[in-house]
Amino acid sequence: MPAAEQLREAARQVAGLTVEELQGAAWRLHPRDHAALLEAGVDVVAALRLRVVIVADPDLEGRGPMLTWDEE
C-alpha cells in the first residue's frame, strides 16, 4: 500500500478516539508496508504516534497500519 494511503488509513482509524480510548493501543504493520513508509521518507513512529509492532502476518500485507489494543 502506498505511504500516503497508509497514513490516510491510520488517520481514519483514530478519528474521534480520545487519548483515554487509545490507552494500550499499538499499530500492527507488515514489513513491506513499513518499508513503503520508510522509502517515502516517513518517520513512522512520529507519524503514527503510537507504538508500532512489525508483524510478518500475510493477512496484514497491503493493508497498512492496523490499530490494535493490548489484551490484559
Domain ranges across the chain:
3-10+24-69
Q: Which pLDDT score, from 0 to 100, does residue 72 have?
A: 52
Summarised one tens digit per residue, pLDDT across range 9-66 is 999 999 999 999 999 999 999 999 999 999 999 999 999 999 999 999 999 999 999 9
- The C-alpha cell 488509513 sits at 9
Q: Kindly give the pairing relationship between strand 25-29 and strand 51-54.
A: parallel
Q: How confident is the model at residue 70 (pLDDT cuts 50, 70, 90)?
A: confident
- The C-alpha cell 478516539 sits at 17
Residue of higher predicted confidence among 71 and 58:
58
Question: DSSP letters of 19-47?
Answer: TTTTTTEEEEE-HHHHHHHHHTT--HHHH
pTM of the model: 0.88
